[in-house]
Structure 1
Amino acid sequence: MTRRNMLKATAAGLALPALGRSAFAADPVKIGFIYLGPPGDWGWTWAHDKGRKAMADALNGQVVANYVENVKEDASAIPILKDLAQQGNKLIFTTSYGYMDQTIEVAKQFPDVKFEHCTGYKHADNVGTYNSRFHQGRSVEGTIAGHMSKTGTIGYLGSYKVPEVVLGVNAFTLAAQAVNPKITTKLVMIDSWFDPAKEAAAVQTLANLGCDVVAQHTDSPAGLQVCEQRKVWCFGQGADMTRFAPKTQLTAIEDIWGPYYISRAKALLDGSWKPDDVWWGMKEGTVVISPYNKVMPADVAAAADKIIAGWKDGSYDVFTGPIADQSGAEKVAKGQRMEDKDLAVIDWYVKGVQS
């Protein structure tokens, strides 16, 4: 080989990495999550973690999905978010309402990192929000409760008085009252999203108050286990909890986050990500109703199916007036539908809710 040919070969070899860079896989992009509870709660956090795994599987080799569990909704979340950002996570999902201010604060310090906050309403250039129309599922549960209740007294186990929970209580009650106008809803709040002991005690209270159907907006199956013991009809939250109440769970609202997480990760990868305010529901597949318990009469299942179909095709909306608050004052006129901007900040209960 001549010196001239050796130089040509060397030059060609040096050029190959630059010319063939696209042929080599880039390092996976890191995406982080913070969870309120453990993935094993079989409810809210379990559903988010299922979505995280779906994203990682769908984009295998392109993303690495990290998470931190049991993150409190207080200032202690800030250093955890900072740590995720400093570790190189380019997109961070904060999966509970109480992380709203912490997300905004950390996002200011890391303008090159994208953040998405679940169920919140505050935005920034690098902070978007996402939510699911859980109240659509509550109206299905309420319809079933209206048919199944013998006492006319139904119960609701809630966490905090935030719009997400208030919407659920109201949707559950309004749908039940559409079947039986005399129905009332006993409401017990425990000021926690995940506290199995408190959840179980609260459901005992609801059963003692004569509630023969109970819905919940807390994260563990502890309340359903009490319903199974007390022979009270109930509904799973965030996931199908049949295993914990095989005889008394009538159905459950399943939170399906995978399609959303996949879409946002893809947007990050292709450079199209921008802060958004997303509120999906049954039509988009983020709210899904679990299979009905076989003990449910066919006419009740048909009534529930009609509500689901109505949400999907737009012919039904549980927040259609007339609607009055607890005092009896009209809040929504006959024939009018509440707008999203009002639903997103609702802080009042409908007539028939006893809190």
Structure 2
Amino acid sequence: MKKFLVFALLILVIAGLAFSAKLKVAFIYVGPIGDAGWTYAHEQGRQYIEKVFGNQIFTSFIESVPEGAESESVLRNFAARGYDIIFATSFGYMDPVIKISKMFPKTVFMHCSGYKTAPNVATYFGRMYEPRFLTGLIAGIMTKSNIIGYVAAHPIPEVIRGINAFALGVKYVNPEAKVHVVWSNTWYDPATEKEAAISLLDIGADVIAQHQDSPAPQQAAQSYGAYSIGYNSDMEAFAPKAYLGAPVWNWGPYYEKVVRDVMNGTWKSEQYWGGMADGVVDIVVSDLVPESVKNLVSVFKEAIIEGKFHPFTGPIYDQEGNLRVPAGEVLSDGELLEMDWFVDNVVGTIPR
């Protein structure tokens, strides 16, 4: 019996050492993993690295964590439990990440969509404005009423930049069309987002775009016999009679890179902002879109990837008629990241 107990204890010690040798990676999500949108896309990235690294890593996640101070305890708990990397996947986690990172200098914190860094904190995001512009091309051609609705989330530069990129795509193919914006002030609230979409459909919008995580705006569009543009992931199954396509995220390869860098000891704090050329953002186009329009989208997509076209190339005017970007010039990354104004074919205001 004594030999058996010693052997069992040895097995437990070996198992414990094997577990501790694994890189521990945590994810904090702002919504439920089944939202079919933003959180779902990040969860697909987590599952991707599990398949890539197998038993080399151990991952965990917590979903529906409120932004702001309430996320501090979740961040602290993961770090205190020895997680090597913590991916905080929403803008509102920014200040809590910076605060908690100072308490755990050996932990790598990755904050999605923010702008504050530290020696052990990096930021990452994607140039979603690139596929947003492409979906604007589709909407501008497919509209008949020239009233295009956009259900906007929160009035932050990320959302404003997306609206403008979409509107510039619309204008490129249809100067007569207007993009009407209604704010939901939500990331994931299907009922509120559906009502916002209906308010746009009631004024004659025949295409509805969105920046939230639920498919509710697309379902509202389908119920009205209108078209929809999704976001975050391919949501065609939720509104197949309305769905034209969506700008989508592909986080897996980037998450793989971060994990490898940490494993290899080459990780460093940076502000990553990748585009379609990196594969972190892309567009899906449904079969409701005519082949001629698909071909146009493909041409512009390739031009963007090759660096031959930028969606924010002037001349670009704001709603008051001011020239914001002279002909031939392109907005800098700094200007894009701080964007707080609408282009001239957007109808709506930005809450201050």
What TM-score results when the alignment is normalised by the length of structure 1?
0.91
The Cα offsets for residues 26-59 of structure 1, whole Å up to 9 and x where unpaired, read as 6211111100001000000000000011011111
In the alignment, residue 52 of structure 1 is paired with which amino acid?
Answer: R
Aligned to 2:116: 122
Aligned to 2:249: 255
| 1:353 counterpart (339, 346, 350) | 346
For 2:337 and 2:324, the matched residues in 1 are separated by: 15
8 Å CA contact 1:159–1:165 kept in 2: the answer is: yes
The Cα offsets for residues 288-308 of structure 1, whole Å up to 9 and x where unpaired, read as 222x32232221111111121
Q: Secondary structure at the match of 2:299?
A: helix
| 1:309 counterpart (297, 302, 305) | 302
8 Å CA contact 1:157–1:189 kept in 2: the answer is: yes
**Structure 2 unaligned blocks of 5 or more:** 1-17
| 1:210 counterpart (204, 212, 215) | 204
Q: 1:260 to 1:153 in 2, by over 3 A?
A: same
Aligned to 1:339: 332
For 1:85 and 1:295, the matched residues in 2 are separated by: 47
The reply to whether residue 198 of structure 1 matches residue 192 of structure 2 is yes
| 2:179 counterpart (182, 185, 202) | 185
The reply to whether residue 84 of structure 1 matches residue 53 of structure 2 is no
Aligned to 1:154: 148
| 1:169 counterpart (144, 163, 166) | 163
The reply to whether residue 293 of structure 1 matches residue 286 of structure 2 is yes
8 Å CA contact 1:184–1:352 kept in 2: the answer is: yes
Identity of aligned residues (%): 39
Give the root-mean-square deviation of aligned CA atoms: 1.2
Aligned to 2:267: 273
Q: Secondary structure at the match of 2:55?
A: coil
Alignment of 1:59-74 (within 5 A): 59-74=53-68
**Structure 1 unaligned blocks of 5 or more:** 1-23
For 1:342 and 1:183, the matched residues in 2 are separated by: 26
| 1:321 counterpart (292, 301, 314) | 314
8 Å CA contact 2:68–2:95 kept in 1: the answer is: no
8 Å CA contact 1:139–1:307 kept in 2: the answer is: no
Range that drifts further, 41-50 or 218-227: 218-227
Report the alpha carbon displacement of residue 25 of structure 1 after superposing the two structures with TM. 8.8
| 1:141 counterpart (129, 135, 144) | 135
For 2:269 and 2:60, the matched residues in 1 are separated by: 21
| 1:220 counterpart (214, 223, 234) | 214
What TM-score results when the alignment is normalised by the length of structure 2?
0.92
Aligned to 2:93: 99
Q: Secondary structure at the match of 1:294?
A: coil
Aligned to 1:52: 46
The reply to whether residue 132 of structure 1 matches residue 126 of structure 2 is yes
